Chain A
């Protein structure tokens, strides 16, 4: 970069840190409006049933009840977050497809009355067979969960081929075929979803909600309520954790709006924890078959993956999720040819959708475990193997994704060195497994495992096709010297509000405290698509820099006139504008704003960002492109107790290619949180069902790591200064989750010699694996059969592997003179 930074790179507190440590922050459920009523949803206890009749008479008669609605009181229109999957109703009218589907809603003077009224609603169901697994849904085409899709109970069936994988396998030194299963799990944000709707007497509607995407909710509410979007305002309250779980429009939001319209009072609906487990939209359970060829030296010759996703009852983001199980693997390592076949199957369970890493942790687990097995067979150290095959920067992948900077090699080096990988692994290699066992042996065995990964920094295409900005910022300078930022971005704890303060402060030579950030209000703020796909820092960031730079240019012109210097000679720092060599004459920023406003009128400037247009020219090419990709490498050391199967994590070393750490404190926080969440997915978390019911829809029974299960995490940040990112930054919120799961599985193998091809890895699985080993059978725990299923004839596209990246940092709406 041309100049030293003053704000960027500093470990500053978040701008909302003070409100959060004092309890000032007002989340959606903290909002209380005068005359507010309370709503509740009646949810189905059947996993699959036809609705014969709903009688609300008894509920309506209950004193304190203000309104009772069913789906017949809403416009009869189906909706869904993706234009291709419009399959949801806020309140089901004809049938329910899962336990937890809402069928009616009540508004009452208090929550207790609303709950009592729900119990007085009489619903007559005609139960239908419930399909609870991929296998069941495929085996029973006569039972249709939905009438649309790519086949009976098949939501999506995709197949893409980039080059001839079979020819590559034929000429390989080693070809491995492995089968893996990744159990579903859920986001579990600490804040339960809540919404407050106020339908005014003027016919306008305001919705405050714990949502990660006020823009999509705004768009869809107009359709669902059959109201002009111009009369709807959606405000995202500060979100108490999202992780992808607050990215769809939900029944409680829609019901609150309708109930407010009917009662003429504000209505709040706050979901219980049990409801949150059924709202879900979390990690898909995915069954995977992965075939990869290797040369003798460990280079990958080609890779072919098949994935079957258990989608649950609705589409949600599922079409995108399906593609994501296939399209990101080639970004990490050199894969000259690649084939991907994927299918998403409907089942009568809560719908799956985007959870941190969206569709990519599952195939990442498969690939990194398979690499470990291949390395062993080839006699290559697993860290060396990965180091050797890291993708080339500024080239294209087989599946036409443009990769820019890659810090993966450096990441691997960092964690290998910091963890003492070589010494520890060499030490273990000294005692071969066949050596005579001493009379006593330790019951606890240590193991060390490694994995790498990549993730996108923002989806290159929007959910609905358009040519508009993905993120917009308006910056306004005030005569006080303060600067206001308006941006549709939603802070879900990751710190997007702070990023929106740091970047303009850096550009304008101000302090973050001087910047007032107003986020996520569809009436005030330019659209930002939402907090998903790790897009916010990059997209809002570039837009904010553009807006601030435009403001700076105009102020510089006015100050230059006053000082009689060239505008280019001016620097903005320490809340002043002046010439560096003549700093005594520098003008305070507030005065500079007055000069600017006198010369130009009101100082308000937009910034816009849309990603470079790089979608591959084939159907499906729109999923996977991203301005740039982040990279991570992780080493896990753990101890396995051979008597109990208990796995205790000792330490985790993670290195993450962040491009540039705009605030290292926030980046570390994202990395550590990702590691924690990955540990939960690897060892304990499972969104599993019995006869249609969630097995453990509570925070006690749904096991998640506490302070005692989360080990010391050593984080290293690698900076590659990516030309696509704001001041070179890439994402941090999702990518670091990916490698920890396979690193744990690989470490368990290192410890006890059992391959874990399935997560979560529980102590009973360890014991079963050890028993197989004792019996001389293959010591592997994982799925042993695949569904009978015919994938589509693959769309054959030429491999783009190794082609040079084109048009770096060429994006719509960029100012011609700006380069970063």
Chain B
């Protein structure tokens, strides 16, 4: 089948029960997508499908042909980091960094829909992404900072 990931089209030949998470990591070498449970419980493996956050551990590639899939590797434009990535790095929002890709993508989807979300709205949007290191504080701060910067430069999500 053909999968479009980060704007690149890939022909993949995989068993039909292989999850999107496994195909991304094992067949396409996109190891930036992590896993915390492989049961759809922790949000760590979140990727975007046509801009919507989905849990790649529960998604089957066969259902996603023709869908634009985005992973953390697709967030930067060339060497220019996405404002969310920049803010997460600057504010210490990534400690061990393991949950970070899933949180970045969930936040990216939120900001695309709602460019200036209040803090409570960010909390709600990220409630399905578990982080064990940060206490979420710096993550919320970083999303707010990125939203602010994106609104100043005319938006990019």
Contacts and interface: CB of A to CB of B under 8 A. Distances in A.
Given A700-B39, A713-B137, A190 B89 contact: no
A24 interface: yes
Interface string A180-200: 000000011111100000000
Interface string A467-509: 0000000000000000000000000111100000000000000
B33 A704 contact: no
Contact of A672 (B96, B104, B130, B134): B134
Contact of B92 (A14, A191, A272, A674): A14
Given A698-B37, A699-B39, A13 B130 contact: no
Nearest to B125: A707
B36 A190 contact: yes
Given A240-B98, A699-B39, A665 B92 contact: yes
A670 to B, nearest CB: 8
Interface in A22-42: 22-27, 29-30, 32
A613 interface: no
A753 interface: no
B150 to A, nearest CB: 16
Contacts of A665: 91-92, 138
Given A21-B94, A493-B97, A698-B37, A673 B135 contact: yes
Nearest to A240: B98
A23 B33 contact: yes
B101 interface: yes
Interface string B69-110: 001110110000100011011111011111111001000000
Contact of A240 (B34, B86, B92): B34
Contact of A191 (B96, B136, B137): B96
Contacts of A699: 36-37, 39, 41-42, 130
B131 A190 contact: yes
B31 A30 contact: yes
Contacts of B130: 190, 699, 704, 706
Contacts of A494: 95
Contacts of B42: 190, 699
Interface string B25-45: 110001111111111011010
Contacts of B89: 13-14, 17-18, 20-21
Contacts, number: 171
A49 interface: no
B8 interface: no
A707 B126 contact: yes
A242 to B, nearest CB: 8
A272 B38 contact: yes
Nearest to A714: B137
Interface string A695-708: 00011100010111
A216 interface: no
Contacts of B99: 190
B112 interface: no
A712 to B, nearest CB: 8
Given A190-B99, A191-B34, A17 B135 contact: no
A388 to B, nearest CB: 31
| Most chain B beta carbons < 10 A, residue from A272, A674, A699 | A699
B49 interface: no
A710 interface: yes
Interface string A203-247: 000000000000000000000000000000000001111110000
Contacts of A492: 96
Contact of B97 (A16, A192, A674): A16
A708 B97 contact: no
A79 interface: no
Given A22-B73, A22-B85, A708 B124 contact: yes
A333 interface: no
A668 interface: yes
Nearest to B40: A700
Contacts of A445: none
Interface string A551-582: 00000000000000000000000000000000
Contact of A190 (B81, B98, B126): B98
B12 interface: no
Interface residues of B, number: 55
A666 interface: yes
A673 B76 CA distance: 28
Find the residue from A240, A242, A700, A710 having the highest chain B CB count within 10 A.
A240
A21 B39 contact: no
Contacts of A16: 97
A669 B134 contact: yes
Contacts of A25: 97
A695 to B, nearest CB: 16
Contacts of B1: none
B97 A20 contact: yes
A242 B97 CA distance: 12
A704 B132 contact: yes
A27 B137 CA distance: 24
Contacts of A666: 92
B20 to A, nearest CB: 15
Contact of A708 (B39, B127, B139): B127
A537 to B, nearest CB: 14
A23 B71 contact: yes
A425 B101 CA distance: 43
A49 to B, nearest CB: 28
Contacts of B104: 21
B140 interface: yes
B44 A190 contact: yes
Nearest to A715: B137
Contacts of A255: none
Interface string A713-734: 1000000000000000000000
Nearest to A110: B26
B44 to A, nearest CB: 6
Given A190-B36, A190-B130, A191-B36, A17 B96 contact: no
Interface in A670-701: 672-677, 698-700
Given A241-B96, A674-B135, A707-B140, A21 B88 contact: yes
A189 B92 CA distance: 18
A806 B119 CA distance: 50
A189 B97 CA distance: 11
Contacts of B88: 17, 21
A192 B36 contact: yes
A47 to B, nearest CB: 24
A673 B37 contact: no
A516 interface: no
A22 B76 contact: yes
Contact of A700 (B41, B126, B140): B41
A11 B136 CA distance: 18
A20 B95 CA distance: 8
Given A676-B136, A699-B41, 19 more contacts: A11-B92, A16-B97, A21-B81, A21-B89, A22-B72, A22-B75, A23-B32, A30-B25, A190-B34, A190-B36, A243-B132, A493-B95, A665-B91, A668-B92, A669-B95, A673-B134, A700-B41, A707-B140, A710-B136
User: What are the 5 closest A-B residue pairs judged by CB atoms, nearest first?
Assistant: A23-B32, A493-B96, A20-B97, A240-B98, A676-B135
26 contacts: A13-B92, A16-B97, A20-B100, A21-B85, A21-B88, A22-B73, A22-B85, A23-B31, A23-B73, A190-B36, A190-B99, A191-B34, A191-B96, A238-B97, A240-B98, A493-B133, A495-B95, A669-B138, A673-B133, A673-B134, A673-B135, A676-B135, A676-B136, A704-B132, A706-B127, A708-B124
Interface of A: 11, 13-14, 16-27, 29-30, 32, 187-192, 238-243, 272-273, 492-495, 665-666, 668-669, 672-677, 698-700, 704, 706-708, 710, 712-713
